[in-house]
Structure 1
Amino acid sequence: MKIDLTQDMIDQGLTCPVGKRKIEYCDAKEVPGLYVLVTSSASANSSYYLRWKQHGKTKHTRIARVTDITLAEARSRALTLRREIATGNLTEEREQKRKQQMTYSDLFEEYVTYKRPFKRSIGKDIQFYNLRIKARFGSRLLSSISRHDLQKFQADLIKEELSEATADLYLRLLKHSMSLAEQWEYIEKSPGKGLKLFNPDNAVENHLSKEELKRLVDVLMSDENRPVCQIVLWLLSTGARLNEALKARWEHIDRNKRQWTIPATNAKSKRSRVVPLNDTAMGILEQLETEGQHETLWVNAKTGKRYTTIQKVWQRLRLKAGLPHFRLHDARHSFAAMVANDGTTSLYAIGTLLGHKSNVSTRRYAKYSSDTLQSISNHASDVIQDAMNGDT
């Protein structure tokens, strides 16, 4: 699609039309052959390319991600490439040779540059690379790494007595980086395709029984550390993540609509969502003394700044309540379990309340609504029994 590309268009985000796998937005006026490739699976990670010809064959050279350089810089690089093409300095043979000489270390450097702006856990990736991947694959040519190599690495991780979940983290990093190498045309096919992960079901979740909830609430209502107690009650009554609560600001609260807006910058899913505030949550707001004095709901009296952690106080509170294994994140699970056991709430609604990106995360709460499922099944049985008895 030929358009007059502008930086504003790039900043606002070019999208792939529904029903298409990819689209090329071509620079109509400035630099012939320059275009932005947008795919349906990763529209936020679009890249600049230069289309050129050699011996009658069309070639595509990737320049950079749209978030890494400006449109003006992309045009400048494209013009430089075109001059190299015109003088014979950029040839298919030279480009092919560069790809053939690329090592995994070279790829990982590009991977980090590509991922750093939007992947919060990039530090973990670098740690995994330095711990084991660098020694195993860093100096290897990309073209020499096979699926068998990845499978052997996977087996060796288990021999080191790493857990299956940890081994999967290493393999996911390798699979994803090699998939990008394929997308960037550094290799013809990623060796990670078809590689099976362990995917262990090791999710740990604790939800409170009525008696345990009573013990915890008694502690939270009576303990002298009111701000931390209020934060935990807020987690129990909203199902929010701890980080979302600690970053909550008064400007995000709408008392009239009884709503709390969690901006995308604070949400794990990177999508803003609106959390309805029930009576318990509204009651907590009434107890707070920070409105009009501080931007955030909870402020540490010692530092005058918002809380960044409450783990030390929480350790004391949970022991006081006789719940040594109950984690702060389990308050979120408990909220979901309480909602699921209501008997009228769909898993979709629970997922929306919790801000889940996928219904896979929500399915775990289906087991808490077994009575509801039994009731539904019994209703079908009643209809069948009526038919068997001749009732209409």
Structure 2
Amino acid sequence: MPTKTFTPAFMATGLVCPAGMKKIEYGVDGDPGLFVECRASQKSVPTWYLRLKNEKGTNIYKKLGTIKDLSLTQAQKLAKMLRAEHASAAKQGDAAAAAPAEMTLDVFVRDHVNPHNAMRKRSHGRDLQLYHRIGPKFGHLKLTEIRRREVQVFHNELVQVDKLAPASADHHIVYLKRILNLAQQWEFLEKNVLAKVPLMKVDNKVERYLSAEETQRLVAVLTTDLAYGASYALLFLLSTGARLNEALQAKWEQVDLENAIWRIPASNSKSKKSRAVPLNDSAMWVLSQLWTKGKHDYLFVNEATNKPWVTLTRAWYRLRAKAGIENLRVHDLRHSFASFLANAGQSLLLIQQLLGHADPRTTLRYAHLSGEKLKEAANEASVIVRPSGSKAA
């Protein structure tokens, strides 16, 4: 890079790109790093740049403006200011790099993890609850002082002393692992020492489905006991397989009655992806019964308060008892919807799409429900004993 004395005459006539070159850079004599780039294009205007070094020792470039925007004096003042800011940022970076060794878990969670999760996790409130037990035990320790053995002892004590269910104890360890994962991701730690801490992995998944007889009793109650309108929301869940939060946040603007489609926006979806739910005849019947059409933004509104439903727990307990059904959660209406599809012979791929599962493995829980249909299909290939009513090829 040729270095020039930027006299008024040179700036007026000398800032040109020589013939045969695509561009050239002219350094400012006495001001290292400050230069003007000139390009061969006739439309191009010579432009001021400042060259700096990053923390890795490689060059980075700051575009300051064209020579029409900045005089030499203005460019030098701006370059001086940017150098000072760059130096300050480098010092802060050095301090931040040294800080992790001294930072406690409490400080890291308060200043880094919580602000990060608050913007990204729906379960952030649950994380804060988990930390009520984690903090008193490990919060005073530096990130580099947390040891696998002490965490495993804490894990066992949650079950043996605090009398938590094994799955609840696992939640605490999973969250603590995630905290240190973030510390590693953000280069506060070289490795997560808790990565291989085993969980108790108790199989506590509840598989509860409505039987055909229970379904009849429940539907009979939900279509006749219409107090405050909660029954319609529950019928809608049973008819669509939607999640409770998706249904309670549903708005009329999301429903295409003509094409029988309900579009769930990404903001209301667990997967954070929008999806279209086809509305069957039962779901369309529910929508035809709602008083909120043309009067309210939301589909399901408590008639007593004129506000959208936030929870259906109390109404559900009353209606469930009236139908003579025990140990059935609101979420089990979603499971039951999937079981209706599986027992009708629908494929797991179709069930996955209707339920909006991001991971097909989640849908596999319903595979056993279609066992009889699979057996019927397999019998079609029976070569020795043919199923009754079948004909040999």
- What secondary structure is seen at the aligned counterpart in 2 of 1:275? strand
**Aligned-pair CA distance for 1:152:** 2.2
Q: Which amino acid aligns with 1:248?
A: A
- Whether the 8 Å contact between 1:239 and 1:335 is mirrored in structure 2 is yes
- Cα pair distance change 1:31/1:142, threshold 3 Å: farther
Aligned to 1:172: 174
Aligned to 2:6: none
- List runs of 5+ in structure 1 lacking aligned partners: 1-28, 34-49, 59-77, 386-390
**Aligned-pair CA distance for 1:81:** 6.3
Aligned to 1:327: 329
- List runs of 5+ in structure 2 lacking aligned partners: 1-47, 60-81, 387-391
1:223 to 212, 222, 225: 225
- Whether the 8 Å contact between 1:104 and 1:138 is mirrored in structure 2 is yes
Segments ≥4 residues shifted beyond 6 Å: 29-33, 78-81
2:207 to 205, 208, 233: 205
- What secondary structure is seen at the aligned counterpart in 2 of 1:338? helix
CA distance in 2, matches of 1:192, 1:302: 51
Please state if 1:337 is matched with 2:339: yes
- Cα pair distance change 1:261/1:233, threshold 3 Å: same
Aligned to 1:4: none
Q: Deviations over 1:26-47 (max 9, x none)?
A: xxx99978xxxxxxxxxxxxxx
- Whether the 8 Å contact between 1:241 and 1:329 is mirrored in structure 2 is yes
Q: Which amino acid aligns with 1:346?
A: S
The structure with the largest alpha-carbon Rg is 2
2:292 to 290, 293, 301: 290
Alignment length (residue pairs):
317
Q: How does 1:44-123 map to 2 (within 5 A)?
A: 51-53=54-56, 82-84=86-88, 89=91, 94-109=95-110, 110-123=112-125
- Whether the 8 Å contact between 2:229 and 2:303 is mirrored in structure 1 is no
**Aligned-pair CA distance for 1:313:** 2.2
Aligned to 2:147: 146
Aligned to 2:305: 303
CA distance in 1, matches of 2:149, 2:187: 21
**Aligned-pair CA distance for 1:234:** 0.8
- Whether the 8 Å contact between 1:223 and 1:229 is mirrored in structure 2 is yes
- Cα pair distance change 1:300/1:31, threshold 3 Å: farther
Aligned to 1:250: 252
- What secondary structure is seen at the aligned counterpart in 2 of 1:260? strand
CA distance in 1, matches of 2:230, 2:89: 64
CA distance in 2, matches of 1:235, 1:113: 34
Q: Deviations over 1:252-273 (max 9, x none)?
A: 1111221001111222222211
Please state if 1:182 is matched with 2:184: yes
Aligned to 1:158: 159
- What secondary structure is seen at the aligned counterpart in 2 of 1:203? coil
- Cα pair distance change 1:384/1:108, threshold 3 Å: farther
- Whether the 8 Å contact between 1:81 and 1:90 is mirrored in structure 2 is no
* TM-score for both structures, normalised by structure 2: 0.74
Aligned to 1:262: 264
- Whether the 8 Å contact between 2:228 and 2:303 is mirrored in structure 1 is no
CA distance in 1, matches of 2:318, 2:230: 11
- Whether the 8 Å contact between 1:347 and 1:362 is mirrored in structure 2 is yes
- Cα pair distance change 1:378/1:129, threshold 3 Å: same
Aligned to 2:355: 354
* TM-score for both structures, normalised by structure 1: 0.74
Moved more, 351-360 or 327-336: 351-360
Q: Which amino acid aligns with 2:88?
A: E
CA distance in 2, matches of 1:127, 1:380: 56
- Cα pair distance change 1:157/1:245, threshold 3 Å: same
Q: Deviations over 1:43-68 (max 9, x none)?
A: xxxxxxx9413xx699xxxxxxxxxx
1:193 to 189, 192, 195: 195
Q: Deviations over 1:96-139 (max 9, x none)?
A: 53221111112212111111112111111111112x21111111
CA distance in 1, matches of 2:165, 2:343: 33
CA distance in 2, matches of 1:104, 1:297: 45
- Whether the 8 Å contact between 2:230 and 2:302 is mirrored in structure 1 is no
Q: Percent identity at matched positions?
A: 41
**Aligned-pair CA distance for 1:146:** 2.4
Q: Which amino acid aligns with 2:362?
A: S
Aligned to 1:43: none
- Whether the 8 Å contact between 1:290 and 1:298 is mirrored in structure 2 is yes
Q: Deviations over 1:154-188 (max 9, x none)?
A: 22222222211111110111111101111111111
Aligned to 1:63: none
- Cα pair distance change 1:165/1:31, threshold 3 Å: farther
- What secondary structure is seen at the aligned counterpart in 1 of 2:307? coil
Aligned to 2:383: 382
Q: Which amino acid aligns with 1:223?
A: D
- What secondary structure is seen at the aligned counterpart in 2 of 1:360? helix
- Cα pair distance change 1:342/1:30, threshold 3 Å: farther
CA distance in 2, matches of 1:236, 1:91: 55
Q: Deviations over 1:333-384 (max 9, x none)?
A: 11010011111x2212212211122223211111111112223433454399
Q: Which amino acid aligns with 1:172?
A: V
Q: Deviations over 1:308-328 (max 9, x none)?
A: 222222222111110132221
